[in-house]
Amino acid sequence: MTTAKLNTLHLHLVDSQAFPLVLPSAPRLATGAYSREERYTLADLAGLQRFAAARGIRLVAEIDTPGHGAAWCTGMPEVCPSARCKQPLDVSSNATFEAIEAVLRDLFTVLPDAFVHLGGDEVSTDCWSSTARVAGWLDERGLTADEAYGYFVSRTTAIAKALGKQAIVWDEVFNHFGMALDREQVVVNTRFNAAQAPARPPCVANASAHGYRVVRSQNKHWYLDQTLGKDWRAQYEFELCAGLPDESCRFIIGGAASQWGETADTSDLMQTIWPRAGAVGEKLWSPRSVNDTVAALPRYVAFRCYLNRRGFVAAPALNGRARSAPPGPGSCYAQ
């Protein structure tokens, strides 16, 4: 990452499939890990924090809520709507928000960054509406399920703020709530031209025009797992501020090369990320006028060979499918 001038590591720490964090304030949650061996502790995160800080890299944790929360139910079933309908996390229970606060408090003892990512994406509220206890809570308060989603986001944001952190959310949260969203929140945009509604402008244009800070990780270009059938130009050709006026562009505060776990594990992780994330790094640190892939190609090839010389498993630069093997023997500069 330091070689590519990427200075922030976004840690998507938990998801629907597993809760691998061992936390002193909520130890039961770790029973939602894949196995006892596939867990990590605060000591592990503290070690990673020290390693990263020595290399100029920030660690920003994400605890995705209220969706992507099914793994919480294994150890703490009281935070889920029911045993048969596990997510989103139970909006009607104080136990849910107490657990979230406990998780964040523990994390912040070892991860000092000013930001925390609270997720907010891919929330289907069907479990709330179909679970009698939660539906009754909604009725008592005169809330629709969608309004309860907004309540959940507001309450978790308030928890983060009370703990001294600024919240980051996925663009779906802004798509839902627009300017009702706390103006201090940072929006991570992933969807190409995702509109808030048919009659409203795309999320990035709308959010930045209203002063919300935006980090871009556009899925058709900078999601490394979704561009496996494309070569490095898919990363290099994306322009952060394309179509935005300069006044809005100043609210685009960064970008991210995103790699999710669906398409990679330890057998191919490094060569799936590298050298393509280096193309993202050059774009983020270059003037907007630097966009010529022909001129960039020799730099990109040299970057891959440099990574290999340093012992990093970076895939061949000249292939049409991200992590493909080279066609035959030859120089690193011709692969």
Give the span between the Cα atoms of 282 and 295, in whole angstroms: 12
List active site positions. 122
What residues of the chain score a pLDDT lower than 70? 192-201
The beta-strand segments (E) located in the chain are: 8-12, 21-22, 40-41, 58-65, 115-119, 166-170, 186-189, 213-216, 252-255
Q: Which residue has the tokens 């025009």?
A: 209
Kindly report the CATH number assigned to the domain that includes residue 123. 3.20.20.80
283: in domain: no
DSSP 144: -
> What angle (nearest 5°) sits at the alpha carbon of residue 188, between those of residues 158 and 15?
75
With respect to residue 54, please indicate whether it lies within any of the assigned structural domains. yes
DSSP string of 42-67? HHHHHHHHHHHHTTT-EEEEEEEESS
Q: Is 120 left (phi over 0), alpha (psi -120 to 50) or beta?
A: left
Cα–Cα dist 300/213, whole Å: 30
What pLDDT is attached to residue 198?
A: 43
| 195 inside domain | yes
In a domain, 308, yes or no: no
Given a contact cutoff of 8 angstroms between Cβ atoms, the answer to whether 37 and 43 are in contact is: no
Report the domain count for the chain.
Answer: 1
Report the C-alpha gap between 117 and 188 in whole angstroms: 9
Please check whether residue 238 lies inside any domain of the structure. yes
Per-residue pLDDT at 201: 56
What is the domain extent for residue 108? 8-268
- CA distances, 257 to each of 66, 68, 120, 205, 278 (Å): 24, 21, 19, 20, 9
CA atoms within 13 A on the CB side of 58: 11
Residue pLDDT, tens place only, 252-311: 999 999 999 888 999 999 999 999 999 999 999 999 889 999 999 999 999 999 999 999
pLDDT value at residue 14: 96
In a domain, 68, yes or no: yes
Residue 91 lies in a domain: yes
In a domain, 275, yes or no: no
As a whole number of angstroms, the longest Cα–Cα distance in the chain is 71
